[in-house]
């Protein structure tokens, strides 16, 4: 198989003995992953083309030498990081079953969260380091007071992409102001197209409000809309074709996300996960699919279009088909830590550096350290995997 310039690294390997293995994605035909029960843990790592201060990967796919002090945010495996997810709050107005308990969730004191000024400053440094894409998330970003002001501040910095992930409960009224402030794209989470089931999964939310928000977002120009669906076995997996049909009817891109071990309750169970491969097969049988041309980039979703030309879906198979090899993402938690992976507890504080009088160069160093410390991939499918201490809404999904 042509690896398209990808270097493979065996995830079991430490830095000193990383070996060549198989690549994770071939970008042709159906999803290339294994089943949920037996998952190869080899990862592909994209070789970095070089640049000021960046050394080339050796034949083990690992960069030799010390952490670069200039140039883009590159890790030891040559992965360049240009996508920053910023969580603006760990609070939320919903309590989705796969994310938070119905009662008893504790939230961080507001004084611990980064202010908008602080977020803007960090984002400016990130921009100078080559970050081109920002996604605002949480918790629920729209519950943070004056959220639109933050979008305007970030828009002023000049990123290629400025996007939002939201449960959309408050989006209808905010869509237009957000676009005026500079928002370019939105992903809306919606796990069922059936009123009662939606309420049972998302708890505290209702389907009608979310469908109305989708229309409002489109009317404001946030197209094409992406719709995030977390599939749970025995709950909403009988809606796979309904969602595919929804994608075909509306032109909205429906992305099916595998349930990840990041719920705050700690109740994740592999048996509840619906593998992306299964989603592909079920839809492909009804409406044949083809990979979207050129889909070999770092985006987490494997994209497929319907062969008859009507609509597109995405598969985010983080568990059964890890895409760590091309990962270009970093996260900034609401309390100001850089997190180099959803599944690693490794965090590098920025807030404390800023609040103790640190310079922008100090902030830059924190970014570089965080990226340099990144592992080749997550180990969800390894026996030694430990759930991260912080759950999805605390990290920023
Ligand atoms: N509150 C917003 C929302 O729901 O869209 C943004 C934050 S939420 C944490 C971001 C995305 O993560 C949502 O699409 C949500 O469905 C997804 N998510 C949350 N917990 C998850 C889990 N345990 N496994 C997979 N996806 C999850
Ligand atoms: Fe809130 Fe989003 Fe988590 Fe649901 S998935 S509880 S909307 S943060």
- 172 is written with which tokens? 């209808």
How far out from the chain centre does Cα 93 lie? 21
The stretches in the chain having pLDDT less than 70 are 1-64, 295-297
Overall domain count for the chain: 1
Q: Does the C-beta of 100 come closer than 6 Å to ligand 2?
A: yes
Q: Does the C-beta of 96 come closer than 6 Å to ligand 2?
A: yes
CATH code, domain with 214:
3.20.20.70
Query: What string of DSSP letters covers 196-239?
Result: HHHHHHHSS--HHHHHHHHHHHHHTT--S-EEEEEEBTTTTGGG
| Residue at 308 is within a domain | no
CB of 2 closer than 8 Å to CB of 44: no
- What is the pTM (predicted TM-score) of this model? 0.86
Q: Does the C-beta of 87 come closer than 6 Å to ligand 1?
A: no
Helix axes 147-157, 171-181, angle to 10 degrees: 30
| Residue at 51 is within a domain | yes
pLDDT of residue 36: 33
| Residue at 230 is within a domain | no
DSSP-derived pairing of the beta strands 226-231 and 253-258: parallel
CA of 344 to the centre of ligand 2 (A): 20
pLDDT of residue 52: 38
CA of 95 to the centre of ligand 2 (A): 6
CA separation for the pair 358, 294 (Å, rounded): 42
pLDDT of residue 60: 53
Backbone angles phi, psi at 217, to 5 degrees: -65, -40
CA separation for the pair 130, 183 (Å, rounded): 20
Instruction: Report the atom number in ligand 2 closest to the C-alpha of 92.
Output: 1
| Residue at 116 is within a domain | yes
Q: Does the C-beta of 262 come closer than 6 Å to ligand 1?
A: yes
Minimum-distance ligand to the CA of 213? 1
Q: Give the residue numbers spanning the domain of 95.
A: 1-184+202-220+319-397
CA of 97 to the centre of ligand 1 (A): 10
Instruction: Report the atom number in ligand 2 closest to the C-alpha of 393.
Output: 8
Q: How far is CA 224 from CA 131, 254, 285, 333, in A?
A: 23, 10, 25, 27
Pocket test for ligand 2, best of 95, 96, 137 (most atoms within 8 A of CB): 96
Instruction: Report the atom number in ligand 1 closest to the C-alpha of 87.
Output: 7
Residue with the smallest CA separation from ligand 2 atom 4 is 96
pLDDT of residue 238: 98
Residue with the smallest CA separation from ligand 2 atom 8 is 139
Contacts with 173 (C-beta within 8 Å, 6 or more apart), sequence order: 216
Q: Does the C-beta of 203 come closer than 6 Å to ligand 2?
A: no
CA separation for the pair 367, 71 (Å, rounded): 12
pLDDT of residue 110: 95
CB of 57 closer than 8 Å to CB of 48: yes
| Residue at 117 is within a domain | yes
pLDDT of residue 30: 53
| Residue at 284 is within a domain | no
């Amino acid at each position: 198989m042509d690896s398209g310039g990808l270097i493979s690294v065996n995830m079991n390997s430490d830095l000193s003995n990383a070996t060549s293995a198989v690549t994770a994605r071939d970008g042709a035909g159906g999803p290339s992953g294994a089943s949920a029960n037996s998952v190869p843990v080899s990862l592909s790592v994209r070789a970095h083309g070089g640049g000021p201060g960046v050394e080339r990967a050796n034949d083990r796919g690992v960069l030799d030498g010390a952490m670069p002090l200039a140039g883009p945010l590159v890790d030891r495996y040559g992965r360049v990081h240009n996508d920053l997810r910023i969580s603006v709050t760990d609070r939320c107005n919903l309590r989705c079953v796969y994310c938070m308990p119905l009662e008893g969730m504790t939230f961080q004191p507001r004084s611990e969260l980064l202010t908008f000024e602080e977020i803007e400053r960090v984002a400016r440094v990130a921009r100078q380091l080559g970050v081109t894409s920002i996604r605002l998330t949480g918790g629920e970003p729209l519950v943070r007071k004056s959220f639109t002001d933050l979008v305007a501040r970030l828009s002023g910095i000049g990123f290629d992409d400025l996007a939002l992930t939201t449960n959309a409960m408050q989006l209808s009224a905010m869509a237009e102001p957000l676009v005026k402030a500079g928002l370019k794209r939105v992903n809306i989470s919606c796990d069922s197209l059936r009123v009662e089931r939606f309420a049972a999964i998302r708890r505290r939310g209702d389907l009608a409000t979310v469908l109305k928000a989708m229309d409002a977002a489109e009317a404001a120009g946030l197209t094409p809309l992406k719709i995030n669906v977390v599939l749970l076995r025995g709950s909403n997996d009988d809606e796979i074709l309904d969602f595919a049909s929804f994608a075909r009817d509306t032109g909205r891109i429906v992305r099916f996300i595998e349930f990840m071990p990041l719920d705050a309750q700690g109740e994740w169970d592999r048996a509840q996960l619906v593998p992306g491969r299964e989603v592909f097969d079920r839809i492909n049988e009804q409406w044949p699919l083809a990979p979207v041309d050129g889909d070999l980039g770092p985006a987490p979703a494997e994209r497929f279009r319907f062969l008859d030309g009507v609509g597109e879906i995405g598969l985010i198979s983080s568990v059964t088909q890890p895409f760590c090899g091309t990962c270009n993402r970093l996260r900034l938690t609401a309390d100001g830590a850089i997190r180099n992976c959803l599944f690693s507890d490794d965090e590098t504080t920025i807030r404390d550096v800023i609040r103790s009088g640190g310079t922008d160069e100090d902030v830059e160093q924190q970014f570089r350290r965080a990226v340099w410390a990144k592992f080749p991939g997550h180990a969800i499918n390894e026996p030694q995997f430990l759930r991260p201490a912080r759950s999805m809404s605390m990290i920023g999904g």
